[in-house]
Structure 1
Amino acid sequence: MSLVHRAPDSAHHAEGPAPRSDGSVSWPGPGVGPWVGLAARLVVGGVWVVASLLKLPDPQQSVRAVRAYEVLPEAVVPTLGALLPGIELVVGLLLLLGLATRPAAVVSAVLLVVFVAAISQAWARGLTIDCGCFGGGGQVADPGSSYFWEIVRDVGLLLASAWLVARPRTRMSLHPVLFSAPRGHRG
């Protein structure tokens, strides 16, 4: 008699890896993955919400930040600078609430890839700008080693977003509460 409770196979596929032929499960097992996902959702979502709330009061500051990277045509800069904080807020709220987790994580990952590329090119070209990630932006006297740490931060957030793309089912998510069929009903 085994003291280890094994969920039905469908639960393994939904929340974690399938068991190996010897009955063991690789990390993060079916019980751990959703908790890792919750942590990823809260961290990435929280960062997006904070970043957007710091930018929303001064939309022109966000436009200056986008312009400082010197990669986009001027005709695009004002629109992108104005829209970016709103996009960040929506993505952050969706992740915090656990609604449309995979699509929100995809948008998050795409934004982070663009941000890493933008910061990397600014660093490589010798531009002295504030990334504008949490407000601010534009030219600064000396960004020092901030580019390196901004890239490290964004790569970490990118990895967390990628986790959520691959494994969007997490603990304390509103999505199954709002969009699941009642027990006993199948759609």
Structure 2
Amino acid sequence: MTPPDLQRSRTARSRTGVADLVGLALRLGLAGVLGYAGWTKVVDLTGSVQNVLAYELFSYEIARAVGVLLPVLELALALLLLLGLLTRASATVTAVLMVVFVAGIASAWARGLSIDCGCFGTGGPVAPEDTTYLTEMLRDLGFLAMALWLAVRPRSLYSLDSRLQKGS
């Protein structure tokens, strides 16, 4: 290998290493957020159902199913992202979930509802001056960006995906 080729190879490996580190940080960040959100809901399923009902989008039966299944999904995604297992699929599902969350918050805002999003276990009606729709939507758009990075580039440090790939 000629010296310029060697330098390009080192630079490419360095960029790949940084991108793998970014992937790890994003994976762990999303795992932490989803794990916390799921846990706060799963320990209070009644509250979780009430949070879904506050959006006034679904009948009680559907809101109940969403309120019970959402925290389970969040915890499953958190575990998969933490382990780096099925990262692309987990990140894609997480991205879809974030789009749904942003749409739900936007819908509540557009319809003049005064609710807390319920994203982290608390939720339901609040005083109109206590709504934080824009902040909640921007936060979830940030999580969406993180998930999209991982959906496009799922490779990261310390992932089971990379270990399994090496084994095959």
Q: Is residue 37 from structure 1 mapped to residue 23 from structure 2 by the alignment?
A: yes
Structure 2 residue ranges without an equivalent (≥5): none
One-letter amino acid of the counterpart of residue 4, structure 1: Q
**C-alpha distance in 1 between matches for 2:108 and 2:60:** 17
Look up the match of 1:160. 146
- Quote the residue 2:115 is aligned against: 129
Alpha carbons 2:116, 2:124 under 8 Å: kept: yes
Residue 77 of structure 1 is matched in structure 2 by 63
Contact between 1:55 and 1:62, CA under 8 Å: does it hold in 2? Answer: yes
Deviations 1:20-57 (A, max 9, x none): xxxx86xx932221111111101111100011111111
Query: Which secondary structure does the structure 1 equivalent of 2:113 belong to?
Result: coil
1:148 aligns with 2:134: yes
- Which amino acid counterpart does residue 41 of structure 1 have in structure 2? R
Structure 1 CA distance for aligned equivalents of residues 108 and 165 of structure 2: 46
TM-score (norm 2): 0.89
TM-score by length of 1: 0.81
Q: Which residue of 2 aligns with 1:92?
A: 78
Alignment partner of 1:53 is 2:43: no
More helix by share: 2
Greater CA radius of gyration, 1 or 2? 1
The reply on whether 1:180 has 2:165 as its aligned counterpart is yes
Aligned length: 164
Q: Which amino acid aligns with 2:77?
A: V
Deviation for aligned residue 1:176? 2.4
The CA deviation at 1:110 is 0.7
Equivalents in 1 of 2:156, 2:66: separation in Å? 31
Quote the Cα distance in structure 2 between the aligned partners of 1:59 and 1:143: 27
In 2, the alpha carbon distance for the partners of 1:162 and 1:30 equals: 18
1:172 CA displacement:
1.3
In structure 1, what residue type is equivalent to 2:38?
S
What is the alpha-carbon distance in structure 1 between the residues aligned to residue 32 and residue 97 of structure 2? 15
**Structure 1 position 89, deviation (Å):** 0.3
1:4 equivalenced with 2:14 (yes/no):
no
User: Cα RMSD over matched residues?
Assistant: 2.0
CA distance in 2, matches of 1:51, 1:70: 21
| Deviation of the 1:112 alpha carbon | 0.4
- CA distance in 2 between counterparts of 1:88 and 1:56 reads 10
Deviation at 1:144, TM superposition (A): 3.0
Amino acid of the structure 1 residue aligned with 2:78: G
With over 3 angstroms needed to count, the CA separation of the structure-2 counterparts of 1:103 and 1:172, relative to structure 1, is same
